[in-house]
Amino acid sequence: MSMQDSISDMFTKIRNGQFSRKVYVIVKFSNFKKSILKVLKKEGYISNYIIENNIKIFLKYFNGKPVIENIKKISKPSLRIYKNKKNIQKVISGLGISIISTSRGVITDFDARKLGIGGEILCTVY
């Protein structure tokens, strides 16, 4: 079975891992996944990640509930979604984040608006 979208696979493993109350999940390594995980850790959605041969993602819980209530892939290989700086919308009135791939790297929607740049909307997290 060939993997068409490894980023969606990573999000699915995170979702399923939290649903199963796992401490961590393991995904294959890529620098792009590492950039996304760096943003998720900075924003407090995951505890940590360790890079060995693969990436071990330590999931985060608060009062027994997963911190990530929903993680949804927006831009897909079959349909890329790009937004300029004026059209980047807030997720749940600013309670969640969008992760955006820009010319300056992978950043949150808040940072993209602050820097005045747009890019490819990868996912929303809340």
Within-domain flag for 18: yes
103 secondary structure, DSSP code:
T
- At 12-68, the pLDDT tens digits run 999 999 999 999 999 999 999 999 999 999 999 999 999 999 999 999 999 999 999
Q: Do residue 58 and residue 81 come from a single domain?
A: no
Q: Number of folded domains in the chain?
A: 2
Q: Which CATH number is 93's domain given?
A: 3.30.1490.10
Within-domain flag for 1: no
Strands 105-108 and 97-102: antiparallel
Q: Do residue 34 and residue 58 come from a single domain?
A: yes
Quote the tokens at residue 7: 């980023």
Task: Collect all residues with Cβ–Cβ distance below 8 Å to 80 and sequence separation of at least 6.
Answer: 120
End-of-domain residue from the set 66, 85, 114: 66
Within-domain flag for 85: yes
Q: Give the predicted TM-score (pTM) of the model.
A: 0.93
CB 100 within 8 A of CB 122: yes
CA end-to-end span of the chain: 31
**Percent of the chain residues topping a pLDDT of 70:** 98
**Cβ-based neighbour number of residue 75 at 10 Å:** 20
